Structure 1
Amino acid sequence: MRLLTPDQARELDQISMDDLGISGTILMGNAGSRISDVALELVADFHNPFILIICGKGNNGGDGYAAALELSKNNINVKVHSLYSIDEYKGDLLDYYLKCYSSNISITFGIDLPDFTPPDLIIDGLFGIGFKGKLKETLVPWVEWINNTKSSVLSIDIPSGLDGNSGTVINHAIKSKATVTFGAPKLGCVLRQGKNYSGLIYTKEIGFPNLDTIQIQGLDWKLFEEFDVNDILKKPDLNTNKYTAGKVLVIAGSRGMTGAAILSTFGALRSGAGLTITTTPASLNGIMERSILEGMTLPLEDGGSGYIGFNHYDEIMNTVEWADTIVLGPGLGRERHTQKLICKLVSSIEKPIILDADGLYPFSDQLEKLNKRENPLVITPHLGELSNLIGKNKNDIIFNFPIIMTNLMKDFHHVALVKQVPNCTFYKNHAIVNSSGNPGLATGGTGDILAGMIGSLIAQNYTPFNASFLASFLHGKASDMLVNEKGYRGQIASDLLDKIPSTIGCYERF
């Protein structure tokens, strides 16, 4: 499903008016009709329903007035309340206010909370996609009143107080039962807190051109949903054997972090890899051998240090020839010789690499070094690691996520899977937002498993981009399927390993 940033939504408006000759007045009227349709659906079970529309002073307010006109035509008891004076109205908003006034629709004004009869439905037309930052203190009582009523709430385009770019809420936002949006859902409705505030999203057409037929600036954002999985994930070929099912080399683990290597390895095996080899400091090989019964290990003499280093480069490269893909980084540690090894491997290995965790550390503030790599690469940073890679503050990334990623992908020509809420996968001009997952994944080791899954799928001949967003969905879905059994707080990374096979099994029948 296509998604739009606020800037892209504004551009779509402009294209419709400039290129198709559709006036803003007509677009607003069409929006009002679609809002009315959804509102009527939401109050269908009420006898003589009362609908209150709360309007701001922008286009969302105008859409609210346009909806009031349509609801009035359907003999609905509708009332409009504006938090702003008519003196602040202009353009299409003013036109639709005057139409409502001429139609004798009840309209009141004022920032103070009046004594309303509790409505059956509140339509939120207070702010639109342009809202950013903190809700003004004078408006907080209104948002609290709306959220505390027993009324259902329908938001226009995006819940007021929710950031359309980042999906963040600074202090307060309207929590809606449903959101009606035009052209495509807005990105903020599916990022971070957006999903909890937006409710059920209705996407309606109001005269915009088909998004696939026009050029809009910025990344092509899409939501990857469950029904998309069967378009990509297929049953293994009947002639598959352990050598053709995918061979994954996992370069991971050090003293105190053997679990990262073990989890990455099983992430690969549980998602279909036929064979794995996991490198290990020889002093830790006993742990690996006892833990990875179905995979092989490559013990590298470490003199008891507990980590691998640059002196192991030749041995590792000999095994690289055997592998289809390489998972590099989970739990490797940050010893100087280890970091030097990582840099050498990234520049030398010609096969696809999934660079995760400690594997990213040597490239802090030096993302351009990774860009020099000519062969396939997937990086999987969480927000802290991304902050280190690009030299930007973590909060700045969160609040300006689409802008920062758009700029980053202008120069970065590999796949980037950013582990934020939810995971987002980028390649060239494409941005895929994951639709699965939950807070149960916020525990150590889940990212290691994801790296192994990506490596496994690439070894099975999925493209690095498809493998990344597909693995992200299956990884999140496995956690979703654990919620009834483990809850959110009770999940640990190894729980996923038992659930991944049945999760994949739900989709690989076709």
Structure 2
Amino acid sequence: MKPILSCDEVRELEDIIEKQGTSKAELMELAGEFAAAQVERLSPKHVLVLAGFGNNGGDGWVAADILSQKGIAVDVVSPVEPDEIPATLARHVARRTAGRDVTVYVGPSRDELSELILKADVVLDAILGTGFHGGLRPPFNIWIDALNEAGATVVSVDVPSGLDAQTGAVAGTCVRADVTATMFAPKIGMFSASGPDFAGEVVCGELYEKLDEVIGDVSHAAEHVDADDLIDYLEPLPSDINKYTRGSVLVVAGSAQYPGAAIMAAKAAARAGAGYVAVAAPEPCANLIRLALPSVPVFAMPADSRGAFGAAAPMQVSELASRYGCVLCGPGMTTSAGAMGVVTSLLALDVPLVLDADALNCLAAVAIDGIDATPELYRREAPLIMTPHYGELARLVHEDAVGNLAEAMDAAQRIVWGVGSDNLIVVAKGPTTAVVGVEKVLLPLSGPASLATAGSGDVLAGIIAGATALNRDRIEAWELLASYAVALHSYTGFAAAERFGEKSVIATDLIDCIGDAMRLMTEEVVGGLENEVASSAKEA
């Protein structure tokens, strides 16, 4: 797993490195060298560097110097003369570079800048760095608009200019980078809100040779989960396994209005590896679910007049649920009084529990000031995994809205820290899904836009339940188990988009692609390990 840092954590890391003897001036030289290397690998003959006022601009001036010394034609655009740059380090390297074999343009007009962009093979964006937030001011908003309109090949230094590196927000305009050459570690804003749309390929320069020794001295906003971190969940089944030792799942879901949610969740749990899956659903929709899932036992529960779980359902559901290795509750169950009783009764059981969709809405409805203010509602000894999307997450903590990854992480941490249990995980679903535990936040592989379809969350909940049941006896970190399920769900999105087309994917397609997704994950892990072995052998 690789760290992802907040802006404050980056500044703290730089201070630690400086105390250990590497100055910020040295780091600027190393950052410029790394940025130059990312430009050079694109084989340009002519490069344009857009340099701002601060240290990010200083990185750009260093890169310009290095590229020019390699025989590449370099133009640098600056808002002021090098002697007038306010940041001391940036002013020093700008003076040095301006006296060498580069051409400097100070404050060009929009038309002049557009001509310079068109002449360049690659543009190095060193306008604004991680300290930027709020709105853009002239001339930088004009520069960025001209750059984006030209459709140039762009390498951004540390973060695309105009992107808030903490929140991923864009106020007005932002550089659309092909490559972002970030320093030390990716910034959390590259994964939040608009960040993924503007960052392009993110490559990371460690800069400091002892980075591995000191990066653990600062907190990590999150950690990125690679496929090879999940290798334990991709092992083949042992030959002596049977349907019971593979794990069992009870899906408590559905209503007369939404029977399909229970069907999709149960089928996904079975596809994800559980050996025995059953459904407990209100009596009015039980036969429909039986017809759709001939291999799955369906238990009809007492219903109310609207076809949702009735007042007598909680006792029967709890008695049934105690026999299973994992229980998934919520998809399509509505928020009837009986459904609320089902949720609270399941929370009292000593069995791994996944709460999704309406189960979370039921929980939010009984909390007065957010569930984090009343942790006794969801405190339990057995594992609990909640899977809210942003809207459900906002309801759980009684906020008006949760609008981006950073806000989702904050809200999920409030829930987890409310009880402080290692067995409580919040899977905050969004364009980038965060798996939040009491000690860490993990960001598994994000899926394609094809996952943005009704029922996709029901499939993910089923995958989580199936993976929990299959791996229950060997789970050491629940965050990693949930990350495996999220990554598998993402791979189903890629596989389904390949088969049906990105805009044509529906949730049931995702279920049918779970096997393909497992194969894709395994191939990526095996291929990565083979490349590591080959690289090590070559070095030896």
Shorter-chain TM band: over 0.9
Larger displacement relative to structure 2 (153-162 or 216-225): 216-225
1:427 aligns with 2:437: yes
Cα 1:208/1:391, change in 2 over 3 Å: farther
Contact 1:248–1:324 (CA<8 Å) still a contact in 2? yes
Residue 529 of structure 2 corresponds to none
Cα separation, 2, equivalents of 1:237 and 1:132: 53
Following TM superposition, by how much is the alpha carbon of 1:425 offset from its aligned partner in structure 2, in angstroms?
Answer: 0.7
Look up the equivalent residue of 2:487 and give its one-letter code: F
SS at 2:110's partner residue? coil
Question: 1:10-409 residue pairs with structure 2 within 5 A?
Answer: 10-18=11-19, 20-42=20-42, 44=43, 46=44, 49-84=45-80, 86-103=83-100, 105-110=102-107, 112-113=109-110, 115=112, 116-117=115-116, 118-136=119-137, 138-207=139-208, 209-211=210-212, 213-219=214-220, 221-302=222-303, 305-346=306-347, 348-364=348-364, 365-367=370-372, 368-395=375-402, 397-398=404-405, 400-402=407-409, 409=416
Cα separation, 2, equivalents of 1:402 and 1:341: 28
Larger displacement relative to structure 2 (257-266 or 309-318): 309-318
Cα 1:458/1:374, change in 2 over 3 Å: same
Cα 1:377/1:212, change in 2 over 3 Å: farther
User: Deviations along 1:412-470, whole A, 9 cap, x unmatched?
Assistant: 53101000111111112222212231121111111111111111111112533222111
Following TM superposition, by how much is the alpha carbon of 1:491 offset from its aligned partner in structure 2, in angstroms?
Answer: 1.2
Look up the equivalent residue of 1:96 and give its one-letter code: V
Cα 1:403/1:340, change in 2 over 3 Å: closer
TM-score by length of 2: 0.87
Residue 493 of structure 2 corresponds to 479
Contact 1:13–1:208 (CA<8 Å) still a contact in 2? no
Larger displacement relative to structure 2 (362-371 or 30-39): 362-371
SS at 1:308's partner residue? coil
Cα separation, 2, equivalents of 1:360 and 1:82: 53
User: Deviations along 1:359-410, whole A, 9 cap, x unmatched?
Assistant: 1113321232455222210000000011111122325555645555556554
Residue 484 of structure 2 corresponds to 470
Cα separation, 1, equivalents of 2:40 and 2:521: 37
Residue 538 of structure 2 corresponds to none
Cα separation, 1, equivalents of 2:377 and 2:131: 36
Contact 2:275–2:470 (CA<8 Å) still a contact in 1? no
Following TM superposition, by how much is the alpha carbon of 1:178 offset from its aligned partner in structure 2, in angstroms?
Answer: 1.1
User: Deviations along 1:22-50, whole A, 9 cap, x unmatched?
Assistant: 111111011111112222111x2x4xx12
Following TM superposition, by how much is the alpha carbon of 1:352 offset from its aligned partner in structure 2, in angstroms?
Answer: 0.6
SS at 1:52's partner residue? strand
**Percent of aligned positions with the same letter in both sequences?**
26
Between structures 1 and 2, the one with greater helix share: 2
Look up the equivalent residue of 1:446 and give its one-letter code: S
Look up the equivalent residue of 2:6 and give its one-letter code: T
Larger displacement relative to structure 2 (79-88 or 209-218): 209-218
Larger displacement relative to structure 2 (310-319 or 488-497): 310-319
Cα 1:137/1:401, change in 2 over 3 Å: farther
1:494 aligns with 2:508: yes
Contact 2:413–2:438 (CA<8 Å) still a contact in 1? no
Following TM superposition, by how much is the alpha carbon of 1:217 offset from its aligned partner in structure 2, in angstroms?
Answer: 4.4
Unmatched 5+ stretches in structure 2? 365-369, 527-540
Following TM superposition, by how much is the alpha carbon of 1:270 offset from its aligned partner in structure 2, in angstroms?
Answer: 0.9
Cα separation, 1, equivalents of 2:304 and 2:176: 59
Cα separation, 2, equivalents of 1:308 and 1:452: 20
Unmatched 5+ stretches in structure 1? none
Residue 445 of structure 1 corresponds to 455
- The alignment's C-alpha RMSD in Å is 2.3
SS at 1:80's partner residue? strand
Contact 2:302–2:311 (CA<8 Å) still a contact in 1? no
Cα separation, 2, equivalents of 1:226 and 1:493: 23
Larger displacement relative to structure 2 (451-460 or 112-121): 112-121
Cα separation, 1, equivalents of 2:64 and 2:498: 42
Cα 1:486/1:371, change in 2 over 3 Å: same
Cα separation, 2, equivalents of 1:404 and 1:286: 39
TM-score by length of 1: 0.92
Cα separation, 2, equivalents of 1:337 and 1:493: 27
Cα 1:328/1:407, change in 2 over 3 Å: closer
Look up the equivalent residue of 2:504 and give its one-letter code: G
Look up the equivalent residue of 1:443 and give its one-letter code: T
Cα separation, 2, equivalents of 1:361 and 1:112: 55
Following TM superposition, by how much is the alpha carbon of 1:137 offset from its aligned partner in structure 2, in angstroms?
Answer: 6.0
Cα 1:223/1:398, change in 2 over 3 Å: closer
Larger displacement relative to structure 2 (391-400 or 272-281): 391-400
SS at 2:502's partner residue? coil
Following TM superposition, by how much is the alpha carbon of 1:224 offset from its aligned partner in structure 2, in angstroms?
Answer: 2.2
Contact 2:322–2:350 (CA<8 Å) still a contact in 1? no
Contact 1:244–1:274 (CA<8 Å) still a contact in 2? yes
Contact 1:154–1:177 (CA<8 Å) still a contact in 2? yes
Cα 1:505/1:206, change in 2 over 3 Å: closer
Contact 2:178–2:200 (CA<8 Å) still a contact in 1? yes
